[in-house]
Amino acid sequence: MNTEQDIESKIRGTVEAQRAFFGTGTTLPVKWRIAQLKRLRDAVIAHEQEFEEALSKDLGRSRVEAYLCDIGPVITEVNEIIHGLRRWARPERHFSGLMCFPSTLTKVYKMPYGVTLVISPFNFPILLTLGVVAAAMSGGNTVVIKASSKSSYCTAALKKFCAEVFPPEYVTLIDGGHDVADMCLAQRFDKIFYTGSPSVGKHVMAEAAKNLTPVALELGGETGNWAVVRKDADLKDTARKIAFFKLLNAGQVCININQVAVAEEVAEPFLEELKKSFASQIGERAEENPEYPKLINGRAWENCASIADAYRDRIVYGGTGNRDSLRYSPTVIYPVNKDEEIVMKELFCPLLPVVPFKDNEADALMDTIEGREHPLAMYLFTKDMKWANRVMRTRQFGGGCINEVCVHMMVKGVPFNGTGHSGMGAYHGEWGFREFTHPQTVLKGRTFFNLSLREHPYGGRKEKAKLRILRLMER
């Protein structure tokens, strides 16, 4: 059995080996990076069945959901990077400006940070590991992965995958619990990317600050993501989409709907449509349906069940579960006040509080949401596009949809992440490349026609002339 000192020594040796490998310059050529990304993509396709089986064991995923949520998006992400990387990595050329004369050319190089640490979560263990790894690789970095100990089968599959596909001095995976994560954080990395809860995100930042390591955080949002349903919304379509999303991964999704605010004028018909949608998609007793995902472990199941029990008298749908299979049915709780405890935290389970509001007070509701920690996602359902567009362009949140759920993160070429307690930084496609590179500005000087304008003396006879020329150049 490895002792704590053995594990620390191994982690330190891994970081040192990656730093030495990065120092050789092997990762810098774009052609080499593209070759590695193609290798990653082809290996994901070759290991598809292993990943599907691991996702089934950890999260109860069906084959379709495993591919829809984890495997397929990784392949799509890597393909996008391969197709765009040459263009993204090309140095930018800028005119140096009159103030820099006689220099005329300045370049901005997109330089890799170096040795990076990717700390990935349990809920989408393949996507949120390899998708981030692909972004780090695109920037020319080496990668140490600390995968979640909760999704143990996926972590084991990923560890085997990395060892088969890449040398450890380039990409490697370290498994273990929070103690091992802290051992990783104790090392000096050049960039850290963490996906998980805001509370752990604060700890990651604090540890990174000791080495002044830049950090990107993808967090779920402390007070959860809202869906707001106005009275003019298409209730059947809205309910269908919300039901689909709440069933996805049994609610263990960082951009999932934590609570629904529905105009009280249409609350009852909306609830009826929601119940129908859940029943038609997963059956009356979801916990008995083998296609329905499970919660990650007993602790998560107990937490879900205890919250449901506390609101037992207001459960209008669901409220049943199977401890042995770790499945808990989608559960609608109504009515819930916007200030109750259940809507003041991220639930990360299939519970769905429904908050009624007066439709003519929608702006006041949005003010309340804005006054809390920024959510990772926002979903609006309405035919009033003027109102919806105004809300979306004036409120702070990670990203969102109007009359849709979740698919904003599947659009190519756009960034994904939150702000404040829901995250910092951004990735996907070119945004991931930017996140894992430092823009480095280099001016090319000349050895002739150098003016004495910037040199002493500044006073005397030359003062007025120099000021006149400087002010002319700065216009």
Q: Which residues are catalytic?
A: 218, 254
Rama region for 435: left / alpha / beta (φ>0; ψ in -120 to 50; rest): alpha
**Strand ranges inside 197-344, DSSP E:** 215-219, 226-229, 259-263, 315-317, 321-322, 327-328, 331-333
Q: What is the residue whose two structure tokens read 């005329």? A: 104
Beta-strand relationship, 321-322 and 327-328: antiparallel
In angstroms, the CA 311 to CA 350 distance is: 14
Q: Which amino acid is at 343?
A: V
DSSP 427: B
Tell me the CA distances in angstroms from 295 to 304, 321, 340, 344, one per residue in order. 9, 11, 24, 21
> Using an 8 Å Cβ cutoff, are 89 and 433 in contact?
yes
If residue 273 lies in a helix (H) or strand (E), which one and from where to where?
helix 267-282
Residue 227: name the closest of 108, 98, 131, 357 by CA.
Answer: 357
Length of the chain in residues, anyone? 475
**In the numeric block, which tokens belong to residue 350?**
């299939």
* Strands of the sheet with 105-112, listed across from one edge: 92-95, 105-112, 437-444
The amino acid that residue 197 corresponds to is S
155-163 contacts: CB < 8 A, separation 24 or more?
155/125, 156/54, 157/47, 157/50, 157/51, 157/53, 157/54, 158/125, 158/126, 158/129, 158/130, 160/50, 161/43, 161/47, 161/50
Query: What are the CA-CA distances from residue 276 to residues 159, 224, 271, 280, 470 (Å)?
Result: 42, 25, 9, 6, 72
C-alpha span between 108 and 119 (Å, rounded): 29
Work out the number of other CB atoms within 10 angstroms of the CB of residue 344. 15
Query: What CA–CA distance (Å, rounded) separates 332 from 218?
Result: 27
